[in-house]
Amino acid sequence: MRWLILFLTVFLSSCGSEGQGRHGTFRIGIDPTWSPIDFKDQQPYVNGYVEDLLLEISRYSGVAFEKIPANWDSLFDGLKEERYDAVFSSLPPYAFNLAKYDFSKNFLDIGPVLVTAWSAHISKLDQIPEEMVGILTGDPAALILEQHPTIIIRSYNSIPEMLDAILGGQIQAALLNCLPASSYTRDLYAGRLKIASAPLTDAGLHAVCLKKNPDRFIRAFNNALEHMKKKKTSETLQKKWNLS
């Protein structure tokens, strides 16, 4: 524990602006709506989880975090203008983004998972060739299904309609982002449907810093996340906020 505290304290206090080092506070820009992701009814739970996550990291490191609310369309402008030292975002780490920014590991996965009937023995798409798999209309996860040309794609306009189709045998499985999948399989469809796979993409929420700054904050942040993962602290927090 001591090495983690020392590591975070030294690197977080040395990364960013002069004011940050003087006060021991690291400024995080956050769009509380998480646009362009629409968490719908789960948005307050995501924000509560992030609040607890920062409190836990602060306890480990002794460094305070100041959350600075920002609009989604000006979030990265504020980062470039150094109004804060990092942002929390779902910005994908594509090559052109990696040229400008450093990304941490995900502190919350949000990619699609495979949802099946409770009794099904399916854990990956390769196990259901020439079968029907459901997806929400307009969901970009359709690109995943297109990599399996023998799978028949069936689109649905709502999550309940799609999940009912699994129960009714019209489709063998469905792709659904992991947070709503967790909510539905834990509540309305508990004991009847299950999440059968890990997230099928690396989509998630993560910390993002300017590339021109040293990546010491990102390394320290990743170490804190890894420590919390080993201690199952992040798992406990996600369960607390119904995000597991």
The CATH number for 101's domain is: 3.40.190.10
Q: Please indicate, yes or no, whether residues 36 and 81 belong to a single structural domain of this protein.
A: yes
| 88, 47 Cβ separation under 8 angstroms | no
Look at strands 204-210 and 86-89 and give their pairing: antiparallel
Domain that holds residue 156: 112-195
Q: Please indicate, yes or no, whether residues 176 and 123 belong to a single structural domain of this protein.
A: yes
Q: Please indicate, yes or no, whether residues 136 and 228 belong to a single structural domain of this protein.
A: no
Q: What is the pLDDT of residues 100-149, one digit of tens each?
A: 999 999 999 999 999 999 999 999 999 988 889 999 999 999 999 999 99
30, 69, 168, 186, 217 from 9: Cα distances, Å: 22, 24, 55, 38, 10
Write down the pTM of the prediction.
Answer: 0.84
Q: What is the pLDDT of residues 2-40, one digit of tens each?
A: 444 444 444 444 444 433 433 478 899 999 999 999 999
